[in-house]
Amino acid sequence: MRPARLNLLTAVAAVAALTAVTGCAEKSGSGDGALKVAASDSACEVSKTEFPAGKLTLEVENKGSKVTEVYVLFPDDRIVAERENIGPGTKASITAEIKAGDYEIACKPGMKGDGIRQKVKATGGGAATKRSPELDAAVAEYRKYVQAQADETLPKAQAFADAVKAGDLAAAQKAYATSRIGWERTEPVAESFGDIDPKVDVREDGLEAGQDPAKDWTGWHRLEKALFADKKIGDEEKKLADQLMTDLTDWQKKVGQAEITPTSMANGAKELLDEVASGKVTGEEERYSHTDLVDFKANVEGAQKAYELLKPVAAKNDAALSAELDKQFAAMNTLLDKYRADKNGYDFTAYDTVGQDQRKELSDAVSALGEPLSKLAAAVAK
Amino acid sequence: MSDDTSTTGSAAEAAEPADSAAASSAASASVSGGPSRRSVLGWGGAGLALGAAAAGGTVAALSGDGDPVPAALSGSSVPFHGEHQAGIASAVQDRLHFAAFDVKTKDRAELVQLLKDWTRAAERMTAGLPVGEGAVGGLPEAPPDDTGEALGLKPSRLTLTVGFGASLFAKDRFGLEGRRPEALVDLEQFPGDNLDPAKSGGDLCVQACADDPQVAVHAIRQLARIGFGKVAVRWSQLGFGKTSSTTPDEQTPRNMMGFKDGTRNIAGTDRAALDKFVWVGDEAKDGSAWMAGGSYLVARRIRMHIETWDRTPLQEQEDIFGRDKGEGAPVGKSKERDEPFLKAMKPQAHVRLAHPDTNSGATILRRGYSFTDGSDGLGRLDAGLFFLAYQRDVRKGFVPIQRNLSKNDGLNEYIQHVSSALFAIPPGVRDKDDWWGRALFA
């Protein structure tokens, strides 16, 4: 739909216009960070053609007689940001978060055609603009949280592994779900180390073609099947318990180095709800142990932690969103509490006893929280 | 949207880059590319040029020669604002996505805000525009406001029609118990009904009709998304192949049994019949001021036992309907639109039993669609009629007709009603400040 063609006519026009570019750029020199775009029926003047990567604000003024629209475009014509219906004599602002690289600004008087174009360049290391101290603090705090979750998980996982190695079926079954809580709270970060997640948390149907469940399937869910479906512990399972500990120790060591940004935190929170929506509400994740609600709760807790840390900024940028998130987190936790007698414990109702109507109610609650949570990244990036 | 500007529009567009770039003091290398849907739709007819080009570059064939273009092909839009909601008397489109919602919020103000948000989104989508800030061009880190599967598609005569179910008026919910219209009855259990409660009822409904199924599905998807946390989809139904039309000059469509059905439907242009049988009158006439200009919608999922029907002899099929299968003429007549002579039909003939003359004049406006939801696990086609009927008062419309049919209709051996719902359809959204249900919540 959007072929990049440079035909003769436009190329000639472009050469003729290039000489004017420098003159235009020198006119500007405004130091307030915003890029001013003066649009008219025949021109699209930008106040500077180079600016630092990160948050870009275009202050557009339509000095022409036609309604116009202004685009920030990638060189291949994909749209970075746009604003349409800018009436004659009116002003509008466009904001975008952009990485270092080449772009084009296009004004389209009359809102048609390819527009009058201006090449611009975003400079710098590709990093976003300097973050606010509040966001830096949120990231630092979240990093600590992630590390603490891993640190606290290791002894719990060890207790689980020890029970397996002792051949104590009942104790191993009991220790299974709690050994996973820290992992489930921080899963998006754990998943960022591509090799650990498939080793510890893959389900049998998640194996790739050519992989042999007997050899290639490791981690919690293989043990889950042995403990809850086959109800037996053999030498193989004991070896798998050791392997799980090795892989989790690897996770504990690496987790502190994960790359975390405010938007990745926000989207990580959303991903935790996605996990719930796709795997837990359906009962697929813990199909043998039926402890899905424990994972569910842990996913929600992890998402809520990320949100709470970002909230000071999110509430400032989008008060309505943060009010909605407060409400939906509260509603979700109230609903989950219906499935455990002890509000401080993690003994949840077995998911195979949760009826279809209740699953629908849980699923609706996940949608109700997941949808506004998907907007958190935008609120943080504003 | 007009359908006569695409040729000139696209010519002007082709000339534009050279003109504007040459005149510009600040243009650089201009890379030619198609306009985005949003910019295109901002200036009317050009959306057609884009759509036509995508379909194979037949811009001129669509509009350049001045020939009238069938509405379905032009992809035109149906006005959203008006005295009545679109999607009732307006020409029936080819496709349907119908959804019933449960309201989850307990907060009346939040429900009102949702209806306002839905109205604003519907205004945009019926005009062929994406909701909110669109599907592309926003923050790369955030999901777009619009899901994008309708980008580049025409408005396709999308209509969105909203209704309120009786459960919304329940005591201690939104303070609406005193406003439930008498005509919003609890439908009785008709003989032979096998209703699935999970696929029946609902606090709200949205009927999305369009000539392109993707446009109809997109519309319901956006509304569901806007509604998360406030409402949840209770059940939904896709439909294809309209089974009746509100435009009598078009050929009457056939249902899944192969018969023309709905020949005598009310024409969308027949104001007298619409006022008499479809639109709710003022408070003095119909008892509920907020419903004036609205209507009542009965939705029934009617499963057909396709395989046994297909093994039924032709004569028996024709006797059951009371029409011949080829032409659609009533028994003893030669043309589809010949006045039926009811007494010539078998006492159990569908047309005879459904006819106004058999039902003390009861008349409804039908807008149903065929559906096929794959097969049912026993290898039988899960198909039938998703029956939609609008009327001024169900107690004088659907209910007496269905009482008669459910008791006597020869078709009953081959059909089963499996889901049922009744909604009060409020009047139309008048203008940009109005919203669905304003009079109800006033």
Residues A166 and A252 in one domain: yes
Task: Give yes or no for residue B29 having a pLDDT over 60.
Answer: no
Structure confidence at residue A124 as a pLDDT band (50, 70, 90): confident
If one compares A81 and B17, the residue with the highest pLDDT of the two is A81
- A16 vs B9, B22, B141: nearest CB: B22
B23: nearest CB among A42, A97, A368: A42
pLDDT surpassing 60 at residue A47: yes
Q: Per the CB < 8 Å rule, is A5 touching B36? A: no
Q: Would the pLDDT of B411 be above 60?
A: yes
Specify if A67 maps to a domain: yes
Q: B12: nearest CA in chain A? A: A113
Both A110 and A152 in one domain: the answer is no
Show residues of chain B in contact with A26, CB under 8 Å. none
Same structural domain for residues A154 and A263? yes
Position A154 pLDDT exceeds 90: yes
pLDDT of the residue at B18 = 36
Closest partner CB to A371 (pick from B28, B139, B225): B225
* Helix axes A262-275 and A133-165, enclosed angle (nearest 10): 40
| pLDDT surpasses 70 at A131 | no
Greater confidence (B232 vs B13) lies with: B232
Q: Are strands A116-123 and A50-52 parallel, antiparallel or unpaired?
A: parallel
Q: Which of B10, B124, B141 to mutate to test the interface with A (most CBs of A within 10 A)?
A: B141
Q: Least CB-CB distance to B26: which of A7, A43, A69?
A: A43
Of B13, B141, B232, the CB nearest to A267: B141
A96 and A150 belong to one structural domain: no
Contact A74, A122 (CB under 8 A): no
For the stretch A160-202, pLDDT in tens is: 999 999 999 999 999 999 999 999 999 989 888 878 998 999 9
pLDDT in tens, B276-287: 999 999 999 999
- ipTM, two decimals, is 0.72
Tell me the chain A residues in contact with residue B13 when contact means C-beta distances shorter than 8 Å. Answer: 112-113
Terminal-to-terminal C-alpha distance of chain B: 33
Measured distance between the N- and C-terminal CA atoms of chain A, rounded to whole angstroms: 31
Which of B20, B33, B35 faces A4 most closely, judged by CB atoms? Answer: B33
Q: Is the CB of residue A59 less than 8 Å away from at least one CB of chain B?
A: no
Instruction: Please report residues of B whose CB lies closer than 8 A to that of A263.
Output: 141
For residue A30, being part of any structural domain is answered with no
CA dist., res. A56 & res. A80, Å (int)? 11
Range with lowest mean pLDDT among B219-228, B258-267, B340-349: B258-267
CA distance B375 to chain A (A): 22
Domain assignment of residue A49, given as a range = 35-123
Query: Are A80 and A146 contained in the same domain?
Result: no
Q: What is the largest CA-CA distance in chain B?
A: 83
Interface with chain B: mutation pick from A70, A79, A116, A332, highest number of B CBs within 10 Å:
A116
Question: Of residues B18 and A333, which shows the higher confidence score?
Answer: A333
Model pTM score: 0.73
Rounded CA-CA distance B178/B163 in Å is: 18
Q: Do A375 and B142 touch (CB under 8 A)?
A: yes
CA atoms of A193 and B296, how far apart (whole Å):
57
As a whole number, mean pLDDT of residues B154-174 equals 97
Distance (Å, whole) CA B225 – CA B218: 10
Q: Higher confidence at residue A13 or residue A40?
A: A40
A273 interfacial to chain B (CB closer than 8 Å): no
Residues B124 and B131: their CA atoms lie apart, in Å, by: 6
The answer to the question of residue A79 being in a domain is: yes
Span A101-124, average pLDDT: 88
Q: What CA–CA distance (Å, rounded) separates A222 from A201?
A: 9
Beta carbons of B276 and B356 less than 8 angstroms apart:
no
Alpha-carbon distance B137 to nearest alpha carbon in chain A (angstroms): 4
Final residue of a structural domain among A96, A123, A150: A123
Is there a domain that residue A7 lies in? no
Residue type (1 letter), A121: K
- Using an 8 Å CB-CB cutoff, list chain B residues near A115: 17, 20, 30
Poorest-confidence range of A363-372, B240-249, B386-395? B240-249
Question: At B270, which amino acid appears?
Answer: D
Residue of A nearest to B54 (CA): A1
Nearest chain B Cα distance for residue A340, angstroms: 23
Instruction: Tell if the CB–CB gap between B27 and A13 is shorter than 8 Å.
Output: yes
Largest CA distance in chain A: 83
CATH number of the domain encompassing residue A61: 2.60.40.420
Residues A371 and A349 in one domain: yes
Q: For chain B, what are the domain ranges?
A: 18-441
Searching chain B, which residue's CA lies closest to the CA of residue A379?
Answer: B142
pLDDT digits (tens, 9 = 90+) for B124-163: 999 999 999 899 988 888 899 999 999 999 999 999 999 9
With an 8 Å Cβ cutoff, are A108 and B22 in contact? no
Closest Cα in chain A to B105 = A368
CB pair distance less than 8 Å for B31 and A76: yes
Contacts of B228 in chain A (CB under 8 A): 367-368, 370-372
Residue of B nearest to A263 (CA): B141
Spatial strand order in the sheet of A50-52: A50-52, A116-123, A101-107, A68-73, A79-86
Judge whether A155 lies within some domain.
yes
According to the per-residue pLDDT averaged within each range, which of A119-133, A266-280, B46-60, B113-127 is highest?
A: B113-127
A104 touches chain B (CB under 8 A): yes
Is A219 found in the same domain as A315? yes
Q: Is A378 on the interface with B (CB under 8 A)?
A: yes
User: Above 50 in pLDDT, residue B254?
Assistant: yes
Whether A63 shows a pLDDT value over 80: the answer reads yes
Of A350-354, B44-48, B194-198, the range with the lowest mean pLDDT is B44-48
Residues of chain A neighbouring B17 (CB-CB closer than 8 A): 9-10, 13, 113-115
Instruction: Using the predicted structure, report yes or no on whether residue B43 has a pLDDT greater than 60.
Output: no
SS3 B330: strand
pLDDT at A137 over 80: yes
pLDDT for residue A362:
95
Q: Closest approach of chain A CAs to the CA of B86, in angstroms? A: 27
Residue A170 belongs to domain with CATH number:
1.20.1420.20
Residue A130 is predicted with a pLDDT of 60
**A213 and A361 within one domain:** yes
Q: Given A123, A144, A178, which residue is the final one in a domain?
A: A123
Cβ–Cβ of A14/B27 closer than 8 Å? yes
Percent of chain A with pLDDT over 70: 89
pLDDT digits (tens, 9 = 90+) for A341-361: 999 999 999 999 999 999 999
Q: Tell me whether residues A367 and B228 touch, CB distance under 8 A.
A: yes
A179 with A149, same domain? Answer: yes
A92-101 average pLDDT score? 78
Residues A263 and A114 in one domain: no
User: Chain-wide mean pLDDT for chain B?
Assistant: 85
Chain B positions touching A266 (Cβ under 8 A) are: 141
Token duo for residue B379: 């290898």
B chain contacts of residue A104, beta-carbon cutoff 8 Å: 28, 31
Pairs of residues, one from chain A and one from chain B, whose beta carbons lie less than 8 Å apart: 185
* Residue from the list A6, A112, A370 with its beta carbon closest to the beta carbon of B35: A112
Task: Outline where A228-291 has alpha helix (H).
Answer: 235-254, 262-275
**Contacts B231 to A, Cβ<8 Å:** none
Which chain A positions have a beta carbon within 8 Å of B18's beta carbon?
9-10, 13
Instruction: Say whether A118 and B36 touch across the interface (CB within 8 A).
Output: no
Long-range (24+ apart) CB contacts under 8 A made by B185-191 are: B185/B394, B185/B395, B185/B399, B185/B422, B187/B298, B187/B394, B187/B399, B187/B420, B187/B422, B188/B399, B190/B402, B190/B403, B190/B406, B190/B417, B191/B406, B191/B407
Query: Is A358 within the bounds of a domain?
Result: yes
What percentage of chain A reaches a pLDDT higher than 90?
Answer: 59
Examine the domain organization and report whether A119 and A138 are in the same domain: no
A128 touches chain B (CB under 8 A): no
pLDDT at B73: 53
How far A325 CA sits from the closest chain B CA (Å)? 10
- Total domain count, chain A: 2
Domain boundary, last residue among A104, A123, A142: A123
Residue B131 φ then ψ, to 5°: -80, 155
| A359 plus A289 within the same structural domain | yes
